[in-house]
Amino acid sequence: MTDDPEEAAEVTPYEVSSKFGSQDDYDRLIDKFGANRLNEDLLDRLRSHSDGELHQFFRRDIICSHRDFAQILDKYEEGDEFYLYTGRAPSGDLHLGHVLPFELTRYLQETFDVKLVVQVPDEEKFLFKDGLTLDDTRRYGIRNIEDILALGFDPDKTDIFFNMDYAGELYPTAVEISRQITFSQVKATMGFENSTNIGSIFYTAMQATPAFLGSVQNDENKHCLVPLAIDQDPHFRLSRDVAPKLGYPKPSILHMKFLPSLQGRGKMSSSKKHTFVGLRDSIEEAKEKIDRAKTGGQVTAAEQREKGANPDDDMVFQLMAYLLVDDDDELNELYEQYASGEILSGELKQICKDYLEDFLVEHQRRREEVKDNIDEYLVSNTDQIDW
């Protein structure tokens, strides 16, 4: 629990407070951002398009809020196609937390059978972080794309671009967008200082552009749905207001929670080694991180048998709930057994490690399968996306 609500609410694309993560924190952030909560009506409509069963992210409140999601469902139900857009700024390899928005995107593409564009802004972390060259971000970008594609996107309906390669197509729209956003808006929304470099200030226009590109490259307007982790919302908060000024529809957004750190408070983060499991970690390394994870168990086994553990405050249980265990009955049973003291933290960790091993082995197998084909997904220069 944090005692300083202002600090708890500190979430921008460039900084997430290391204490952030309780439901209260999300509730405050959603209100501060002016986002909307999903209601039963929207979930029912989505369920009706998903063979009656919603993805675990929706069943478990991991999608915390949205903007104009109803409009996407309206479009779809009227027989109009929308498209999906998300992205990844390379600065290192992907971890399990990064999987969340891409897995949501994969599910949405499968459910609605729609086009997806993935932006790989290889300039973003170059501008925002010290010590990375453009060659570094490019190299990580390739590795990131391999991991992203391993999650399983429709090869006929997925286009990926590096900003550096696709800048010629993006730039005219980015300029139009940037004309409508002031420095003081960006400064306040992103938490910038006067000493922030000017590339960073313009960058938000580059990130917003693909949400308009479906309309720019087509004769008719195309609605865009952007699945993202909630820290990315500020970019779209700035650019959604610009859309009508340029004659385009406002992009719709689905916001996801962060995968919690294995160490408790805060999100899984590449900069803190024992908080994350990487998609390229060895099985051994991954298991070792689970062994070190913070649990909601008691100090002694005897005490835990008697009082039970707290699965809500157990990072191993949380990882299973967020990502690894799809079956609700199975997860609920584990919850009961763990909360009642029937299973101990060591046993829960073993169960989690088995799931994690299956996940990683399967992921690595798929990555090997796709990694030589990534050129088929890449667009560059003056390539038009096949909408």
Residue type, 229: A
Decide if residue 119 touches ligand TRP (CB under 6 A): yes
CB of 121 to ligand TRP, least distance (A): 5
Stretch that binds ligand TRP, among 118-126, 143-151, 214-222, 266-274 (CB under 6 A): 118-126
**Which is nearest to 61 in space by CA: 206, 257, 232?**
257
CB of 353 to ligand TRP, least distance (A): 28
H/E stretch holding 318 reads helix 315-319
Rounded distance between C-alpha atoms, residue 312 and residue 296, angstroms: 7
By beta-carbon proximity to ligand TRP, the closer residue of 112 and 140 is: 140
Stretch that binds ligand TRP, among 46-54, 80-88, 186-194, 276-284 (CB under 6 A): 80-88
Decide if residue 252 touches ligand TRP (CB under 6 A): no
Stretch that binds ligand TRP, among 82-90, 188-196, 361-369, 372-380 (CB under 6 A): 82-90
- Would you tell me how many other CB atoms lie within 10 Å of the CB of residue 378? 17
Stretch that binds ligand TRP, among 86-94, 142-150, 285-293, 365-373 (CB under 6 A): 86-94
Among 109, 207, 298, 318, binds ligand TRP (CB under 6 A): 207
Stretch that binds ligand TRP, among 47-55, 139-147, 188-196, 224-232 (CB under 6 A): 224-232
Decide if residue 17 touches ligand TRP (CB under 6 A): no
Q: Is 157 helix (H, G, I), strand (E, B) or coil?
A: helix
Among 62, 108, 226, 331, binds ligand TRP (CB under 6 A): 226
By beta-carbon proximity to ligand TRP, the closer residue of 203 and 338 is: 203
Decide if residue 251 touches ligand TRP (CB under 6 A): no
Among 25, 103, 122, 124, binds ligand TRP (CB under 6 A): 124
Residues linked to residue 261 through DSSP beta bridges, in sequence order: 264
By beta-carbon proximity to ligand TRP, the closer residue of 251 and 297 is: 251
Among 21, 87, 278, 296, binds ligand TRP (CB under 6 A): 87
Q: Are strands 82-87 and 63-67 parallel, antiparallel or unpaired?
A: unpaired
By beta-carbon proximity to ligand TRP, the closer residue of 73 and 226 is: 226
The count of chain residues that interact with ligand TRP, using the rule CB under 6 A, is: 12
Decide if residue 308 touches ligand TRP (CB under 6 A): no
Stretch that binds ligand TRP, among 87-95, 190-198, 254-262, 311-319 (CB under 6 A): 87-95
H/E stretch holding 162 reads strand 158-162
Q: What is the DSSP letter of 265?
A: E
- Would you tell me how many other CB atoms lie within 10 Å of the CB of residue 164? 16
**Which is nearest to 377 in space by CA: 185, 171, 169, 119?**
119
Decide if residue 89 touches ligand TRP (CB under 6 A): yes
Task: Tell me the C-alpha to C-alpha distance, in Å, between residue 67 and each of 60, 109, 144.
Answer: 19, 18, 28
CB of 228 to ligand TRP, least distance (A): 4
The two tokens of residue 220 are 């008719």
Decide if residue 86 touches ligand TRP (CB under 6 A): yes
Among 232, 239, 263, 295, binds ligand TRP (CB under 6 A): 232
Planar angle of CA 315, 256, 364, nearest 5 degrees: 65
Q: Are strands 11-12 and 15-16 parallel, antiparallel or unpaired?
A: antiparallel
Stretch that binds ligand TRP, among 117-125, 149-157, 268-276, 287-295 (CB under 6 A): 117-125
Evaluate whether 82 touches 72 at the Cβ level (below 8 Å). yes
Residues linked to residue 255 through DSSP beta bridges, in sequence order: 65, 228
Among 88, 240, 255, 289, binds ligand TRP (CB under 6 A): 88
Among 21, 92, 97, 121, binds ligand TRP (CB under 6 A): 121
Q: What is the phi/psi pair of residue 355, to 5°?
A: -60, -45
**Which is nearest to 205 in space by CA: 243, 161, 231, 262?**
243
49 contact partners, CB below 8 Å, separation of at least 6: 73, 76, 111, 112
The two tokens of residue 38 are 């999903």
Rounded distance between C-alpha atoms, residue 201 and residue 204, angstroms: 7
Residues that bind ligand TRP (CB under 6 A): 13, 86-89, 119, 121, 124, 207, 226, 228, 232
